[in-house]
């Protein structure tokens, strides 16, 4: 029930925050009766009402706990994904992907071995070549290193 209420508070704060930003927005409505503010204000109001409603009368508690003994692994992978997101632009797709594959598979239980290194190398280069050479999609080779 506590988790449900926490969720409801987040929904409520989101609604209020969005509503506040919507009201603060500049308004121009020449020939447009609604203008750019009305739709967001309406959405913010709905979200706020829903947040209140869920806070006052929560739904039956979900079975899962928000944090458990495996939360560390989830946080570690999320952290890796954040770093990988930045690394693609900074050091290029193949290198960052190689390290991401190696470390993420390690986190999920794979031991670092020559075979694992070979798999990470194969996929980082293979995916890069498939997209850049065959499908003509731009991916940075070296990122900012060679700029």
Partner 1 sequence: MIEIFHHLVYGLQIATTPTNLFYAFIGCLVGTLIGVLPGIGPAGGIALLIPLTFGKEPASAIILLAGIYYGAMYGGSTTSILLNVPGEAASVVTTLDGYQMAQKGRAGAALSIAALGSFIAGTIGLVLLMLLAPPLARAALKFGPAESFALMFFGLSTVTSLAGKSLRKGMVATTLGLMLSTVGSDLPTGIIRFTFGIANLMEGIDVVVLAIGLFAVSEVLTSTEEMAAGEFVVEKLSRIWLSLKEFMQSLGAIIRGSFLGFFIGVLPGAAHVTASFLSYTLEKKMASDPDNFGKGDIRGVAAPESANNAAACGALIPLLTLGLPASAVTAVLYSALLITGIRPSPFLFDKHPDVTWGLIGSMYIGNVMLLILNLPLVALWVKVLRTPARWLFPIVMVISFVGVYSVNASSLDLLMATGLGILGYIMRKLDYPLAPVILGFVLGVLMEQSLRQTLMISGGSLEIFWKSPIAMILFLLSAIFVVLPRFLARRKGMHLA
Residues near partner 1 (CB under 8 A) are 3-4, 7, 11, 14, 18, 21, 25-29, 31-36, 39-40, 43-44, 46-47, 50-51, 53-54, 59, 62, 64-66, 68-74, 77-78, 81-82, 84-86, 88-89, 93, 97, 100-101, 104-105, 107-110, 119, 123-124, 127, 131, 135-140
Distance of alpha carbon 41 from alpha carbon 50, whole angstroms? 14
CB of 76 to partner 1, least distance (A): 8
CB of 70 to partner 1, least distance (A): 4
Distance of alpha carbon 35 from alpha carbon 41, whole angstroms? 11
Distance of alpha carbon 84 from alpha carbon 104, whole angstroms? 10
CB 55 within 8 Å of CB 1: no
CB of 60 to partner 1, least distance (A): 8
CA-closest candidate to residue 131, choices 77, 88, 99, 86: 88
């Amino acid at each position: 029930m506590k988790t449900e209420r926490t969720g409801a508070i987040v929904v409520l704060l989101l609604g209020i925050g969005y509503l506040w930003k919507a009201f603060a927005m500049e308004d121009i409505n020449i020939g447009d009766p609604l203008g750019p503010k009305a739709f967001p204000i309406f959405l913010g109001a709905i979200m706020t009402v829903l947040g209140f409603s869920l806070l006052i009368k929560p739904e039956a508690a979900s079975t899962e706990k928000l944090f458990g003994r495996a939360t560390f692994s989830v946080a570690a992978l999320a952290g890796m994904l954040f770093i990988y997101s930045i690394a693609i632009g900074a050091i290029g797709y193949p290198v960052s992907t190689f390290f991401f594959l190696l470390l993420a598979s390690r986190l999920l239980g794979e031991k670092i071995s020559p075979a694992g290194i070979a798999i990470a190398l194969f996929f980082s280069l293979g995916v890069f070549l498939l997209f850049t050479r065959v499908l003509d999609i731009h991916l940075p080779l070296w990122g900012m290193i060679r700029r």
